[in-house]
Amino acid sequence: MTVSNTFNGITLALSKGRIFEETLPLLAAAGIEPAESPESSRKLIIETNRADVRLVIIRASDTPTYVQYGAADLGIAGKDVLIEHGGTGLYQPVDLNIAKCRMSVAVPAGFDYEAAVQRGGRIRVASKYVRIAREHFAAKGMHVDLIKLYGSMELAPLVGLADVIVDLVSTGGTLRANKLQEVEEIMQISSRLVVNQAALKMKRELLQPVIEAFAGAVKS
């Protein structure tokens, strides 16, 4: 299903925060300058210096959905979000190498993760990333009880809700502040450009130069 989107130009879906910050130089490389900052503005649709390009500001985890249905022609989303979404209907032409972090297993100080793995008993895993967590433990042949949370995963082992968590780590500061230890890295994470497959055919003259400018501006 594709929604009707009356805007004739291209609509780019972005989330506030770290993705937006790191996307500004990529937008500049494509000759796109937002008319205002989503951090200070409450507007959800932001015009740019180009009449044929607008931005829509959404929750990071909603980006694949907007692009899948064609409400946005393209967007930028973390690999974590893309895996959890499943990626249906999305073309993922460029790894932008921004908003980098890793998906890891972390445990409270004193929890012997290796022993728990060896024992093979059930462990309780709290995560927002249930698909990634399920696949990771299945690949290790471990039986786990998954507890879906929407945020503050670090709290779960501290109050006995779970034995371990699966969460994103960048500096490690959040884990340290909560006396948790990273015991296993599941995968490296970065954000990708995602494009609606139908839009890529219908609006190729508009989209292709933007995709190429983004690809050319990626830092290795």
Q: Which residues in this chain contact ligand PRT in the complex, by CB under 6 A?
A: 15, 17-19, 59-61, 78, 80-81, 99, 101, 167-174, 189, 191
Task: Give min distance, CB of 214 to ligand PRT, in A.
Answer: 17
Element (H, E) at 19: helix 18-29
How would DSSP label each residue in 125-149?
Answer: EEES-HHHHHHHHHHTT--EEEEE-
Nearer to ligand PRT, 92 or 174 (CB): 174
Q: Nearer to ligand PRT by C-beta: 59 or 204?
A: 59
154 vs 203, beta carbon nearer ligand PRT? 154
DSSP secondary structure letter of residue 34: B
Residue nearest ligand PRT, Cβ-based: 78
| DSSP state at residue 51 | T
Burial of residue 171 (CB within 10 Å: 0-12, 13-18, 19+) is: exposed
- Shortest Cβ distance from residue 208 to ligand PRT (Å)? 26
First to last CA, the chain: 36
Cα angle 50-29-214, degrees, rounded to a multiple of 5? 100
Q: Least separation, in Å, of the C-beta of 1 and ligand PRT?
A: 25
Q: What is the DSSP letter of 158?
A: H
C-beta of 80 vs 163, nearer to ligand PRT: 80
Q: In angstroms, give the least distance from the CB of 120 to ligand PRT.
A: 28
Q: Which CB sits closer to ligand PRT, 12 or 60?
A: 60
